[in-house]
Amino acid sequence: MDRLLNTIRPYPWGSATALPNLMGTVSDGTPQAELWMGAHPAAPSRLLRASGPETLDALIASRPAAELGEATLRRFGPRLPFLLKLLAVQAPLSLQVHPDLAQAAVGHRIENAQGVPLDAPHRNYRDGNHKPEMVVALSSFEGLCGFRPSAHCADLLEALRLSELAPYVTALRKEPEEPALRAVFSAFLAAPESLVDAVAGSVAHQAEHAERDRSAWKAYDGIARACPGDPGLLAALMLQHVRLAPGEGIFLGAGVPHAYLSGLGVEIMASSDNVLRCGLTSKHVDAEELLRVVRFTASPVRVLRPAARGAEAEEVYPAPVDDFRLSRTRLSAGSRALLDATAPQILVCTRGSIRVSSSCSSLALEPGESAYVPAGEQVTLRGEGEAFRATVDAGHGYEEKCE
């Protein structure tokens, strides 16, 4: 078991205060968007060792069976299959979607054959892996996730009282849902700036005066103000607004368009950097490729709540993938939790003070601090506070879907 030194990514949409407040540090006024914990080559965690810091990806590459365990190595190869983050959102993230395994493999192979550098800004597929993900709120957390039913999209657009939107309202009401969502979403991505500005003005009015869905209108108005002139606003109107209370989460599978808007949370995902964007960003946008990947189906957002494991303190968030398994342990004074050791794991403290002990070492974790535990090393948690555990659900049969 080792304490981790982790990298904070200073993306422009990040909060300057949320992570410093959690970790008890002083903000320098710059955005601190994501704290990465894992072995992703873009920003691998480092382990504090007597001989000096060592990156987690290098450690796993040097002894994969010992670090990952035979089951994880057999299923995923010599790599840590998940990436854990603390996410601090102050402004809207890009409107984006992730590919499934087959799409990622093909896209990665094609771009390699074309000679596109892995770090090129216009590269879509930086690896051949999918990127299912889950976010669990630590504060009130808002986002957009998946399509509204076509009839609901039509109602919302009609409420804006703009004649330019009438053809889209008609299509959403009269055409079958999947082709209607596809046609309208595609058209919105190419919307002229004049239409975007008109929609932004009507959205601002709704945010002030709407009798229904006021919180959703306020969220869309925030997007319009943060990203003026961006056609992603129109596409965002087709997505469901989600507000999570602390402890609640959502899972996002392949092809589901989404964007996080505000809040502090724990995020876990398959270890991949494949993101296709279509708006609300200054980064590369490839609308054509995104439209190939998006799944134009509407289904209710399933808000996840953790399920207790019998009498144990650990509570597990359900996810239909085996790349990762996320759980939460809340301890009161004098209590403890024994965590199994069948796969590698990363533990991060999010509240209070947690002591992590194994047969050969012991670490005290304060909020924002984390530890890496290799496969086969059983640990006990004690203290008063809260910790999240990321590991592998090696016994789960993989199923690519979003519930």
Q: How confident is the model at residue 310 (pLDDT cuts 50, 70, 90)?
A: low
* HSE-CB for 62 with a 13 A CA cutoff: 6
pLDDT at 400: 37
Q: Provide the b/e sequence for 185-223 (b: ≥16 CB within 10 Å).
A: bbbbbebeeebbebbbebbbebbeeeeebeebbbbbbbb
C-alpha dihedral (28, 19, 333, 308), degrees to nearest 10:
180
Helix/strand/coil (H, E, C) string of 43-71? Answer: CCCEECCCCCCEEHHHHHHHCHHHHHCHH
pLDDT band at 401 (very low <50, low <70, confident <90, very high): very low
Q: What angle do CA 188, 192, 198 make, to 5 degrees?
A: 90
Average pLDDT, the chain: 94
Residue 178 and residue 297 in contact, taking contact as beta carbons nearer than 8 Å = yes
Contact 245, 144 (CB under 8 A): no
Query: Could you confirm whether 295 is annotated as catalytic?
Result: no
Please answer whether residues 19 and 32 qualify as being in contact, where contact means their C-beta atoms are separated by less than 8 angstroms. yes
> How far apart are alpha carbons 371 and 389 in whole angstroms?
10
CB 381 within 8 A of CB 355: yes
Contact 192, 165 (CB under 8 A): no
- Nearest 5°: phi and psi at 154? -60, -40
Taking residues 19-46, what's their average pLDDT? 96
The arithmetic mean of pLDDT across residues 347-351, rounded, is 98
Is the pLDDT at 139 greater than 80? The verdict is yes
Report whether pLDDT(49) > 90.
no
At residue 301, the pLDDT reads 94
**Non-local CB neighbours of 176 within 8 Å, separated by 6+ positions:** none
User: What's the predicted TM-score (pTM) here?
Assistant: 0.94
Residues recorded for the chain:
403
* N-terminal to C-terminal alpha carbon distance within the chain: 35
Express each pLDDT in 370-399 by its tens digit: 999 999 999 999 999 999 999 998 654 333
d(CA 20, CA 35): 11
244-269 average pLDDT score: 98
| Residue boundaries of the structural domains of the chain | 149-237, 307-391
pLDDT of res. 308:
84
Q: How far is Cα 115 from Cα 117, in angstroms, rounded to an integer?
A: 6
Average pLDDT over residues 28-43: 96
Residue with tokens 């899972």: 251
What fold does the segment set 307-391 form as a domain?
A: Jelly Rolls (2.60.120)
**Cα distance between residue 66 and residue 58, in whole Å:** 13
Q: Which of 75, 123, 277, 330 is catalytic?
A: 277
